[in-house]
Amino acid sequence: MQVTSSKELDIGESILDVEGLSVVRSGNLIISDIDLKIRRGEFVGIVGPNGSGKTTLLLSILGILKPNSGIIRIYGCEPMCKSNDGRVSWVSQAASNLPRNLRLTVRELVKLGTISSRNMFSLRSNDEIVNKAIEMVDLKDVANTDIGRLSGGQRQRAVIARALASQADFIILDEPLVGIDREARSSLLKLLDVLCHESEKTILMVSHDLAAIRQTAHRMIYLEGSIKFDGETSKFPKLTELAELRGIKPVHDDSHGHQD
């Protein structure tokens, strides 16, 4: 049963509308009956166990996977439509896993984000956009450093700067916290919060880090084949309630003296 918040966050216009989405991969139904609306300025976190369909949902939203049924609209049109070119940016799970021997500076990587089908053959300089993106992620001091020499957290910031350089308003991230230490994780989450509140970016992030999502996102979605919870972060179920949502029953009773 889907649980929804009684108070919808009415932040701005609708950015993403998903209705009745179902996706089959390799003959298996991965997600079904997904209804989802995200508004401008929201920071939405998607959580769920391995194999629950989180990445499948993101790939469907991006237009990489085709749904078996349902409708997806981003800014009112289908995924990958030309009018959305540059408005949506994706930071994949492997985006920061760049080869250590790659001879590409932070500035060069970020500049790649400014290239789109509309300006691919333009000679116009995007230095101002690139510099601003690098400054926003606090990598100014290493702007001319090769990516391979950066820490995991810095590389993740660099790929987010590339997304910002595209000037996208809707940023989709798949497991951006994997492989970075606690300090870098906290710094990155603070950055995303600033982007949301001060730059009016709309953020949709998938993560296994339930605690991190609860500390950052405005709204949380628990996905396991279908949406089991969609509501304000403050109302996200406690562990015992989450187990009930998943259909998991306790194997011990109070007579055994087990404590929570």
* Number of neighbouring beta carbons within 10 Å of residue 249: 7
Q: Which two tokens stand for residue 86?
A: 């540059």
| Amino acid in position 248 | I
Domain boundaries of the chain, sorted by first residue: 11-230
Q: Is the pTM of this model over 0.85?
A: no
Which CATH architecture fits 11-230? 3-Layer(aba) Sandwich (3.40)
Coil vs helix vs strand at 137:
coil
pLDDT 10s digit of each residue in the chain, 260 long?
344 433 344 457 899 999 999 999 999 999 999 999 999 999 999 999 888 999 999 999 999 999 999 999 999 999 988 888 888 988 877 655 666 677 899 999 999 888 765 544 444 557 888 998 898 888 999 999 998 888 888 888 888 888 888 888 999 998 888 777 788 788 888 888 888 888 889 999 998 888 888 888 999 999 999 999 999 999 998 877 776 766 666 666 655 555 44
The per-residue pLDDT for 98 is 67
DSSP bridge pairs for 31: 23
CB 145 within 8 A of CB 103: no
Between the alpha carbon of residue 87 and those of residues 15, 161, 167, 172, the distances in Å are 10, 15, 7, 11
The per-residue pLDDT for 137 is 86
The per-residue pLDDT for 91 is 86
> Phi, psi (5° rounding) for residue 214?
-65, -25
Smallest CA-to-CA distance from 19 within 8, 35, 41, 5 is with 35
Between the alpha carbon of residue 111 and those of residues 34, 35, 43, 160, 165, the distances in Å are 36, 36, 25, 12, 7
